[in-house]
Amino acid sequence: MDIPPTFTGNPLDRAARERRDPAWLAARLADPASRFLSFRQLRPLVAEEGGTLRLAWRPAGPSPVGAGEPVLLGLDRDGAARFAVETAPEAPETGATVRFADARSAAMRLPPEDAAILAQARSLVAWHASHGFCPRCGGRTAPREGGYARRCLSAACGASHFPRTDPVVIMLVHKDDRALLGRSVRVPPFPPGLHSCLAGYVEPGESLEEAVRREVEEETGVRVGVVRYLASQPWPFPSSLMLGCLAEAASEEIRIDPAEVEEAAWFGREAVREGLTRWRETDGFRLPPPITAAHRLAAAWVGGASATRTSDSGAAGP
């Protein structure tokens, strides 16, 4: 893939060693050169000028009541610290050109480096918002290491917890000159005409290849043979790692699981090619937008891209 996947290419130095030092962190928080990216209900603050959208970085200021703890994102190229912080829900909009925006919509317009920082920031802010209490004992937790850990405040527990990323396999299943695409059962539902690659979470004790084969057969009844890994992509909704694969089908009959898939069908290469160009449209057959792993997988298959063969182990027979 010539163009790096959306949400990759983060330019910040995450300062893994320095962030362990509370004094260093306190100095960065007080440094006038440090900049902060605000979120409101996981929507980032963005600025638009002349049709260009960017993340809206601000210097430190009084924190509104209810604001979260700042999370260190890293150091920029000039060595200045960058933080993310969830503001109070009632925090006002700042103006017509500076606003809190839907993260997914904003990502399609942000420069690649800003989109990558957004992925890191939104995932961390979301994790902190849902981990205020210890899953081991129920006690309150507090952030540590600049936001890359939380520790239980109970003296009897003291457990440490770390931000998680959920691995998700997403696969373009193909046979001869056709690709298997479907419509997921989810809330909110897929818009009319939108089709995508099959996908699912990797389960405990399961390899990438096993997850691909299991998910495809569970959702559509189609058996998969060779699995080829193509590329990965962070997906900050809330925090997943999409593992993109090309998967060779070993059977053709489709038997969908209605609890998982609304419909699934085989589509020819030209139909998929056309669907990739129609992602902006609101009806008719089309694929997801270019920020998604599904779009990139379909584009790679249409273009005949090569991939790394991962394993034949456990492959289904013909």
State pLDDT tens for residues 45-80: 999 988 899 999 999 866 654 567 899 999 999 999
What average pLDDT does the segment 147-168 reach? 97
Give dist(CA 29, CA 34) in Å, integer: 7
How much is the pLDDT for 203?
98
Q: CA nearest 267: which of 276, 258, 259? A: 276
Out of 3.40.50.920, 3.90.79.10, 3.10.20.600, 3.50.50.60, select the CATH number for domain 166-306.
3.90.79.10
Give dist(CA 38, CA 261) in Å, integer: 37
For the chain, percent of residues with pLDDT exceeding 70: 90
Q: Residue 246 pLDDT more than 90?
A: yes
State pLDDT tens for residues 76-134: 999 999 999 998 665 555 566 899 999 999 999 999 999 999 999 999 999 999 999 99
pLDDT tier at 170 (50, 70, 90 boundaries)?
very high
Angle at 124 between CA 81 and CA 143, to 5 degrees: 80
CATH number of 18-125: 3.90.79
- For 253, other C-beta atoms within 10 Å of its C-beta total 8
Cα 264 to Cα 72, 183, 187, 245, 282: the distances in Å are: 43, 6, 18, 18, 19
How much is the pLDDT for 60?
81
